[in-house]
Structure 1
Amino acid sequence: MIRSVLFLSLLLPGLLVPALPAQQSRKANIWKQTLTERLPLLGHRNWILVVDSAYPLQTSPGVEVVETDAGQIEVTRAVLAQIKDSIHVRPVIFMDAELPFLTEEDSPGANAYRQQISAVLHNYTIQNELHEQLIAQVSNAGKEFRILVLKTRLTVPYSSVFIRLDCKYVSADAEDRLRARMKSGVQP
């Protein structure tokens, strides 16, 4: 009996180590596959969130959470690349207003994260809002619309990237002009 336990204790660590990369690979495939499957179905008013590991599990019926077991920068890049390649949606990006005020002392990794996420989002206009307000918007939207939450391994607070999808083939300016014409009653 003792020999069996000793044998298993020596054997099991070797068996478990190869399973970890396979498990990570499966998680990577799941979140990427989920994103690929959901994006064609999502449209304006839907959201995709790339969140840190402490982001709360919300109870709104439209919120779907997928654990990525990946880094936030990697997931953000993948989401933005798929949105860019889509024919129907464009991103409107929000981030927590608290992020610029984090100190490295209180939130280790905050400085590096700010630099990395700035590099990823440099081509986009970022709207900053308080974290609680963003969560409330998502919760409210989740009552009627689908929200895809991709949870990452990042452990920096107030670092989530909130992406509200908008129609790619109608700009905000074109929509404003349409509404103005409708209000005035003047048809083209």
Structure 2
Amino acid sequence: MVKLNSLLLIVVLALVTGCDRVKVNPGNTTTWQEQLEQSMALLGHRNWIVVTDMAYPLQVRNGITTLFAEEPYMEVLSHVSDLIDSSPHLYAHVYLDRELSDLNESLCPGIENFRKEHQRVIPTANIIFTKHEDLIDKLDSTSNKYQVVVIKTRLALPYTSTFFELDCKYWDGEKQKRLEEIIGE
């Protein structure tokens, strides 16, 4: 009876404090890969997937799901990139923190290797560099209406999060513009 009351109290506290809104996968038997793959059919344009370093904050908005990956950052990044590329309905605009460009080896040992490995997975020509705080603000506002999936890794280098803003693979801005012309808007 005491255990049942304790469990009931925990559930009530979680509901009252809003802890039910934070979805993190420790203790879950489903891997982050399985969870992400299962959600891919549900994700569409305006959704985001973010691969982060260890210090990335746990955001608590309803629209943000946080998963944890034990695998190395580049392995996670490669898996996410491949999953998006193989999707029949999605492609991504890829963002990195603008601050990453200013880091050097004396300030941040290991950053040159990170950039080289990241370039191997996602060529720099395909990346939009934006201030970190602007990206965080964008996720915060986006999660009011749309789902954001954050995959946190054990990487311990600053400004290394990769942001994938999902978009529709089979419908683009040019087609939308032509449709609006037909409609008369």
Q: Same fold (TM over 0.5)?
A: yes
Higher helix share: 1
Aligned ranges 1:45-64 → 2 under 5 Å: 45-64=46-65
Q: C-alpha separation between the residues in 1 aligned to 2:172 and 2:69?
A: 32
Q: C-alpha separation between the residues in 2 aligned to 1:164 and 1:82?
A: 14
Call closer, same or farther: CA 1:129–1:171 in 2, change over 3 Å.
Answer: same
Partner of 1:36: 37
For residue 78 of structure 1, give the secondary structure of its aligned residue in structure 2.
helix
1:35 partner letter: L
Using the TM superposition, give the Cα deviation of residue 34 of structure 1 relative to its aligned residue in structure 2, in angstroms: 0.8
Long gaps (5+) in structure 1: 1-25
Equivalent residues of 1:50, 1:161 under 8 A apart? yes
Which stretch of the first structure deviates more once superposed, 159-168 or 170-179? 170-179
Q: C-alpha separation between the residues in 2 aligned to 1:123 and 1:157?
A: 18
TM-score by length of 1: 0.78
Q: C-alpha separation between the residues in 2 aligned to 1:28 and 1:106?
A: 39
For residue 98 of structure 1, give the secondary structure of its aligned residue in structure 2.
helix
Partner of 1:8: none
Aligned ranges 1:85-104 → 2 under 5 Å: 85-104=86-105
Residue-by-residue CA offset, 1:154-175 (whole Å, 9 max, x unaligned):
1111110000100010123322
TM-score by length of 2: 0.80
Matched, 1:141 2:142: yes
Larger Rg: 1
Equivalent residues of 1:65, 1:149 under 8 A apart? yes
Aligned ranges 1:72-151 → 2 under 5 Å: 72-122=73-123, 125-151=126-152
Aligned ranges 1:147-186 → 2 under 5 Å: 147-182=148-183, 185=184
For residue 34 of structure 1, give the secondary structure of its aligned residue in structure 2.
helix
Residue-by-residue CA offset, 1:102-129 (whole Å, 9 max, x unaligned):
0112211110001110111128621111
For residue 158 of structure 1, give the secondary structure of its aligned residue in structure 2.
coil
Long gaps (5+) in structure 2: 1-26
Call closer, same or farther: CA 1:91–1:56 in 2, change over 3 Å.
Answer: same
Equivalent residues of 1:93, 1:124 under 8 A apart? no
Could you list the structure 1 runs, at least 4 aligned residues long, displaced by more than 6 angstroms after superposition. none
Figure out how many residues of one structure are paired with residues of the other and give that number. Answer: 159
For residue 114 of structure 2, give the secondary structure of its aligned residue in structure 1.
helix
Q: C-alpha separation between the residues in 2 aligned to 1:104 and 1:153?
A: 20
Q: C-alpha separation between the residues in 1 aligned to 2:157 and 2:114?
A: 8
